[in-house]
Amino acid sequence: MITLFAPMLMGNNGFVPDGASLGQRSVVLGLLLAIYPLGQFVGSPILGALSDRYGRRPVLVVSLLVTVLGYAVIALGIEWRSIVLLGSGCLIGGLAESNIAIAQSAISDMSSPDERPRLFAWTYSSSSLGYIAGPVVGGQMALHLGWSVPFWLMVPLLVATLIWTWFRFAETHAADRQADFSLFAAMTNLSTVFTDESIRRLYLLNFLIYLALFGYFRMVLVYLVDRWDTGVDQTTLIYSGLALISAITSFFIMAPLTRRMGLNRLAITACIAAGAAMIAITVPSQIGSIWITGGLTTMMGTIALAACPTILSNAVSLERQGRVMGNNQAIQVGAESLSAMIGGALAAVTIPLPLIVFGIFLIICGGLLLRDFAA
């Protein structure tokens, strides 16, 4: 949805008044992109706690069922040119798709601390592979068949995923029938982000890194459209290329670099390098430069995104994985939602500003990591 919403709302396609300014469209886009991660922010601690209580598999299956509904509502919102319905579908989808915390918990259930950097990187590479095929196929469908067609296509794909999960996903965490589940407790469990002295610093650093990197992944598309007037086909193609770089990084680069440099040192280097490259995106005048500056930002950013939850996961016991990973996912999507709103507001001032600000912010994060790990 990120790759399609940018050209869909930045152009005159009936979602906002034709006379709306670029700044107004940027604000609307930022708010719409913020709704989906906002749903994930609310849902992540709940699904994480539910998976600790009832097991990973049943919660994952139900969440996939709700996701099917969310994408159908998004498709209807596009067809009817309804921002309200479109936002509602994003909220439903976000609530259900916070199930990434369950996937991360399942990985933690089955792996040792030494294996987790590679396996956590693979979760991001799976997403990256989706970003390779999704924007290219979805962009062409939107261009030739209409904006809603890619989202209608997601409905049967999600149904197939649901069926596969039902039959093939093996439970990794036995249900604890003696444990009580409280919705209020699940929601307030997020407060441990501030009260758990042993890992709250890691929570904070994860939030800061997520804020900068997800701000980049959203606003680089707006920069492409404004700077080089890219259409939906070119925008989605470039984004797919960057996603391919992310996938290659996850599958082939992350593990050997971790062995060579160590996880902590690699995280510091990745943050600083990604921040510098992000700022450099705004300097060159030729669109081909995006493969160098954006490619380096994406590669280093992918490493940082994989390192963040791995460091946190290694710091807690197996019994706490579901809740801690749920909290971390809530932090991630909270930062994602906030970055969309901040990015939209900064872009309303001048389009390159979000990339510069987020790049500086990421360099600062690398410095904070360096200080903490040195101590």
Specify if 189 maps to a domain.
no
The per-residue pLDDT for range 281-328, each reduced to its tens digit, is 999 989 999 999 999 999 999 999 888 888 888 888 777 777 787 788
The per-residue pLDDT for range 61-112, each reduced to its tens digit, is 999 999 999 999 999 999 999 999 999 999 999 899 888 878 888 888 888 8
| CA–CA distance, 277 with 366 (Å, rounded to integer) | 14
The residue range of the domain holding 147 is 2-167+195-374
| CA–CA distance, 341 with 324 (Å, rounded to integer) | 26
- Is-contact 106 52, C-beta < 8 A? no
Domain count, the chain: 1
157 confidence band (pLDDT: 50, 70, 90): very high
What is the structure's pLDDT at 179? Answer: 65
Residue 250 DSSP class: I
| CA–CA distance, 343 with 212 (Å, rounded to integer) | 10
What is the structure's pLDDT at 358? Answer: 97
Specify if 182 maps to a domain.
no
Q: Which residue has the higher pLDDT, 319 or 214?
A: 214
- Is-contact 71 89, C-beta < 8 A? yes
How many C-beta atoms surround the C-beta of residue 349 within 10 A? Answer: 11
Q: Which residue has the higher pLDDT, 190 or 74?
A: 74
pLDDT at 210 over 80: yes
Average pLDDT, integer, range 233-261? 87
Residue 60's contacts (CB-CB under 8 Å, 6 or more residues apart) are 51, 99, 102, 103, 165, 169
Residue 319 DSSP class: G
171 confidence band (pLDDT: 50, 70, 90): very high
CA angle (49 as vertex; 181, 71 as ends), nearest 5: 115
CATH number at residue 281: 1.20.1250.20
Q: What is the CA radius of gyration of the chain?
A: 20
For the ranges 28-37, 131-140, 253-262, the maximum mean pLDDT occurs at 253-262
* b/e burial code for range 173-204 (CB count within 10 A of at least 16 → b): beeeeeeeeeeeebeebbebbeebeebeebbb
| CA–CA distance, 249 with 204 (Å, rounded to integer) | 25
Q: Which residue has the higher pLDDT, 321 or 205?
A: 205
Residue where the block lists tokens 């539910």: 50
Q: Which of 326, 361, 328 is nearest to 342 (CA)?
A: 361
What is the structure's pLDDT at 314? Answer: 85
What is the structure's pLDDT at 128? Answer: 64
What is the structure's pLDDT at 187? Answer: 66
The pTM of this model reads: 0.71
Residue where the block lists tokens 């592979």: 129
The continuous run of DSSP H or E covering 322 comes out as helix 321-349
Specify if 210 maps to a domain.
yes
pLDDT at 168 over 70: yes
- Is-contact 60 102, C-beta < 8 A? yes
What is the structure's pLDDT at 180? Answer: 66
Specify if 357 maps to a domain.
yes
Q: Which of 299, 262, 305, 268 is nearest to 100 (CA)?
A: 305
pLDDT at 349 over 80: yes
- Is-contact 340 34, C-beta < 8 A? yes
Specify if 175 maps to a domain.
no
- Is-contact 268 373, C-beta < 8 A? yes
Specify if 343 maps to a domain.
yes
What is the structure's pLDDT at 300? Answer: 96
CA angle (276 as vertex; 271, 281 as ends), nearest 5: 125
193 confidence band (pLDDT: 50, 70, 90): confident
What is the structure's pLDDT at 147? Answer: 92
Specify if 185 maps to a domain.
no
Specify if 316 maps to a domain.
yes
What is the structure's pLDDT at 339? Answer: 86
The per-residue pLDDT for range 10-45, each reduced to its tens digit, is 888 888 888 888 888 888 888 888 888 788 888 888
